């Protein structure tokens, strides 16, 4: 006797009851990069592009303390804020030029010294010796510390009455009770603090670049009689050129736009010798409540940095092609 099963067989997964297969939407290979970039582009637009366009629009308005409550009705002034900022016969133009000169000196010194210190430390730790790993970790401590912590450490050290710097100078018989956060000494204090924070980043980048240089080249140069300085000048520096080009540009942009270090070091009473352009724009915007003028100065700073960046990239790319 044969038993016949009457149980219905369920359709396989992914098919309709009538037997037809469902089609799943397929993502083309060309659209994958755009989908992966979409979140980053969205937040870039939200965090940077939209505020930048808003600041550009504000630079054409007379947006001062009289129009803050109804800023949408602030009168349109065209290029008046730019003319006022670039009027070097007036007080605003003179102050902007002085702040720009201070920022140029600060950026050049900070970047140059940070690069030299980073290269020296990377070369020193290139050879294997006991304690090298520990020294590498210690050299990275200033960069790993939060910016508020590192700047406040220097602020306490540079204090006139209780600071360690004056106490050490007094013990060495070099005089004490110096005002490191006032007058012309403020620029030196600002530069030293910025270098202390940035040189570990240069050390980290250059140390990574040194790993790509074959040791056979140094051995061959030593056989030919090349000394340490000749090896650095003819082998290390030229072969680190791609890393150094990017590193110098990044450090320059960081230092030129630096706001945290001078603000934390001097609060709002920044001496004229350490009045970076970022602080100058902040003072014109949030202390005098002239956001139109501050936005115009910010736009001029952006244009300057774009020109410097484009010129630097063109120069370095041309040198790379000619090499």
Residue 105 confidence (pLDDT): 96
**Cα–Cα dist 168/174, whole Å:** 9
Three-class secondary structure of residue 185 per DSSP: helix
Q: What is the mean pLDDT of residues 127-143?
A: 88
Q: Is 21's pLDDT higher than 60?
A: no
Residue 3 confidence (pLDDT): 47
Q: What is the mean pLDDT of residues 293-311?
A: 93
Strand partners, 61: 76
Q: Show Cβ contacts of residue 263 under 8 Å, excluding neighbours closer than 6 positions.
A: 270, 279, 282
Q: Residue 176 carries which DSSP code?
A: -
**pLDDT tens readout for residues 144-190:** 899 999 999 999 999 888 888 888 888 787 776 788 888 889 999 99
Q: Is 12's pLDDT higher than 70?
A: no
Report residue 135: phi and psi, to 5°: -65, -40
For 215, the token pair is 């040791």
Lowest mean pLDDT among 14-28, 89-103, 293-307: 14-28
Its sign, for the CA torsion 93, 96, 98, 101, is: negative
For 94, the token pair is 């003179």
Of the ranges 63-77, 121-135, 183-197, the best mean pLDDT one: 183-197
Q: Is 315's pLDDT higher than 70?
A: yes
Q: Is 191's pLDDT higher than 80?
A: yes
**pLDDT tens readout for residues 199-230:** 999 999 999 999 888 888 888 888 888 888 88
Going by pLDDT thresholds of 50, 70 and 90, the confidence category of residue 1 is very low
**Cα–Cα dist 283/69, whole Å:** 20
Q: What is the mean pLDDT of residues 266-285?
A: 90
Q: Is 272's pLDDT higher than 60?
A: yes
**pLDDT tens readout for residues 32-72:** 888 888 899 999 888 888 888 888 998 898 888 787 777 77
Going by pLDDT thresholds of 50, 70 and 90, the confidence category of residue 22 is low
**Cα–Cα dist 288/282, whole Å:** 9
Contact (CB, 8 A) for 295 and 63: yes
C-beta atoms surrounding 114 within 10 Å? 25
Residue 5 confidence (pLDDT): 47
**pLDDT tens readout for residues 95-117:** 999 999 999 999 999 999 999 99
Domains of the chain, earliest start first: 97-298 (1.10.3720.10)
> Helices in the chain by DSSP H: which ranges?
31-44, 50-58, 80-85, 91-124, 132-139, 141-144, 147-157, 164-171, 185-210, 215-223, 228-231, 237-239, 241-256, 260-266, 277-282, 291-322
Longest CA span, the chain: 117
**Cα–Cα dist 251/111, whole Å:** 6
Specify the pTM: 0.82
Going by pLDDT thresholds of 50, 70 and 90, the confidence category of residue 303 is very high
Mean pLDDT taken over the chain:
86
């Amino acid at each position: 006797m044969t038993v016949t099963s009457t149980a219905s067989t369920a359709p396989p997964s992914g098919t309709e009851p009538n037997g037809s297969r469902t089609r799943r939407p397929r993502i083309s290979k060309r659209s994958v990069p755009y989908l992966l970039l979409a979140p980053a582009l969205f937040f870039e637009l939200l965090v940077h592009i939209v505020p930048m366009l808003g600041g550009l629009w504000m630079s054409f308005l007379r947006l001062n303390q009289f129009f803050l409550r109804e800023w949408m009705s602030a009168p349109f002034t065209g290029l008046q804020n730019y003319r006022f900022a670039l009027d070097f016969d007036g007080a605003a133009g003179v102050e902007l030029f002085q702040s720009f000169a201070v920022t140029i000196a600060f950026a050049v010194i900070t970047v140059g010294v940070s690069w030299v210190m980073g290269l020296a430390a990377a070369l020193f730790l290139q050879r294997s010796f006991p304690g090298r790993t520990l020294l590498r970790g210690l050299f990275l401590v200033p960069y790993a510390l939060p910016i508020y912590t590192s700047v406040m450490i220097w602020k306490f050290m540079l204090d006139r009455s209780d600071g360690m710097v004056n106490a050490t100078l007094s013990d060495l018989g070099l005089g004490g009770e110096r005002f490191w956060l006032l007058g012309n000494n403020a620029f030196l204090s600002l530069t030293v603090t910025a270098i202390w924070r940035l040189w570990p980043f240069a050390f980290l980048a250059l140390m990574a670049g040194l790993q790509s240089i074959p040791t056979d080249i140094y051995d061959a140069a030593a056989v030919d009689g090349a000394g340490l300085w000749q090896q650095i000048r003819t082998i290390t520096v030229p072969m680190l050129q791609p890393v150094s080009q990017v590193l110098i540009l990044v450090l320059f942009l960081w230092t030129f736009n630096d706001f945290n270090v001078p603000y934390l070091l001097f609060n709002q009473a920044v001496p004229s010798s350490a009045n970076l352009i970022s602080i100058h724009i902040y003072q014109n915007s949030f202390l005098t409540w002239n956001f139109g003028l501050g936005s115009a100065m910010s736009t001029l700073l952006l244009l300057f940095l774009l020109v410097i960046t484009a010129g630097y990239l063109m120069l370095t790319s041309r040198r790379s092609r000619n090499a």
